[in-house]
């Protein structure tokens, strides 16, 4: 199995080849893309946001996107957003450069003492500090997200949190047109979201239960498991409490799944 944490070797973690993102028996269970700054300067879009590391208590700043400065242009079927200037996903992962603790900004806050101990033992003791430029690339972001995923595994975070991180990593690889690595992390995301859907309370960050079911459906579609995809999207369509926006997306996704399934059946019959 490929070492999905290859990028973290430079940070001091060189024995992670067999690390499992999700326990198999759990039932409860680079081309650098430059930022588009032709119209709006990055100085207008980015600002310094202050954080306090829950592990080492260091106070530091990390770049964030100003609201209203980055226009949403489109959304992929699995809800990956496309913006006109800066991909905000690049800046959503926060890293303490002193100790190596990393998490999404939404989760970068106090954690239980037991988790602090685990992170100190398994992350901080090995971490080799690294600075990042104000204007980060996709490769920088992938390294930071994988460090956050490692921290999540070490502190035994819920599968929903790990799945959410894997989905974001897959999206970053999609921007880089690295289909192989995108699929690796989409599979991890699917596993984690299935575990979370059956065993955890919602929301998972901003994902409610129906939105998660919708994403699961699209992930099954991307792996050509069309019958399972139709089952999951059907749950969204039939739910009375689903928002009009989500239900509209689900109807479009159902149509797309049926088209791709029909094409698959046709291709299989031709090949016989």
What the block records as the tokens of 179 is 């289909």
Cα distance between residue 268 and residue 106, in whole Å = 45
Cα distance between residue 11 and residue 108, in whole Å = 20
- Tens-level pLDDT at each residue, the chain (272 residues): 578 888 888 888 877 777 778 876 544 444 344 444 334 577 788 999 999 999 999 999 999 998 888 889 999 999 999 998 889 999 999 999 999 999 999 999 999 999 999 999 999 999 998 899 999 999 999 999 999 999 999 999 999 999 999 999 999 999 999 999 999 999 999 999 999 999 999 999 889 999 999 999 999 999 999 999 999 999 999 999 999 999 999 999 999 999 999 999 888 888 76
Evaluate whether residue 217 is within a structural domain: no
Evaluate whether residue 216 is within a structural domain: no
Evaluate whether residue 70 is within a structural domain: yes
Evaluate whether residue 62 is within a structural domain: yes
Evaluate whether residue 172 is within a structural domain: yes
Residue with tokens 């999207």: 233
Cα distance between residue 266 and residue 270, in whole Å = 6
Supply the pLDDT for residue 40. Answer: 55
Evaluate whether residue 184 is within a structural domain: no
Sign of the CA dihedral with 122 first, then 20, 186, and 26 last: negative
Cα distance between residue 45 and residue 85, in whole Å = 9
DSSP 3-state of 194: helix
Evaluate whether residue 95 is within a structural domain: yes
DSSP 3-state of 209: helix
DSSP state of 207: B
The whole domain housing 150 covers 1-14+29-177
The count of domains in the chain is 1
Evaluate whether residue 75 is within a structural domain: yes
Q: Is the separation of the CB atoms in 94 and 62 below 8 Å?
A: yes
Supply the pLDDT for residue 1. Answer: 57
Please choose, from the candidates 242, 44, 30, 39, the residue with its C-alpha nearest in 3D space to the C-alpha of residue 140. Answer: 30
Supply the pLDDT for residue 120. Answer: 98
Task: For strands 59-65 and 93-95, give the pairing.
Answer: unpaired
Please state the pTM of the whole predicted model.
Answer: 0.85
Q: Is the separation of the CB atoms in 256 and 233 below 8 Å?
A: no
The angle at the Cα of 190, spanning 215 to 202, to the nearest 5 degrees, equals 60
How distant is the alpha carbon of residue 184 from its chain centre?
Answer: 12
């Amino acid at each position: 199995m490929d070492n999905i944490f290859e990028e973290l070797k430079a940070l001091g973690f060189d024995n992670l080849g067999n690390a499992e993102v999700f326990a198999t028996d759990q039932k409860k269970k680079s081309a650098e893309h430059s930022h588009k700054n032709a119209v709006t300067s990055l100085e207008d879009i980015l600002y310094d946001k202050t954080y306090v590391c829950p592990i080492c208590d260091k106070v530091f700043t990390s770049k964030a996107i100003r609201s209203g400065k980055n226009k949403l242009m489109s959304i992929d079927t699995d809800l990956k957003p496309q913006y006109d200037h800066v991909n905000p996903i690049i800046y959503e992962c926060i890293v303490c450069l002193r100790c190596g603790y990393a998490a999404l900004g939404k989760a970068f806050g106090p954690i239980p003492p037991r988790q602090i101990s685990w992170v100190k033992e398994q992350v901080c003791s090995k971490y080799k500090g690294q600075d990042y430029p104000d204007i980060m690339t996709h490769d920088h972001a992938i390294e930071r997200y994988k460090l956050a995923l490692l921290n999540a595994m070490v502190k035994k975070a819920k599968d929903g949190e790990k799945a959410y991180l894997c989905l974001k990593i897959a999206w970053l690889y999609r921007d880089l047109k690295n289909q192989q690595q995108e699929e690796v992390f989409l599979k991890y995301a699917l596993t984690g979201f299935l575990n979370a859907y059956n065993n955890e309370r919602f929301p998972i960050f901003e994902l409610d239960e129906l939105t998660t079911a919708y994403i699961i459906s699209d992930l099954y579609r991307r792996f050509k498991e069309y019958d399972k995809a139709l089952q999951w999207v059907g749950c969204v369509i039939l739910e009375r409490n689903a928002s009009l926006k989500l239900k509209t997306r689900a109807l479009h996704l159902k149509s797309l799944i049926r088209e791709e399934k029909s094409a698959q059946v046709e291709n299989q019959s031709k090949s016989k």
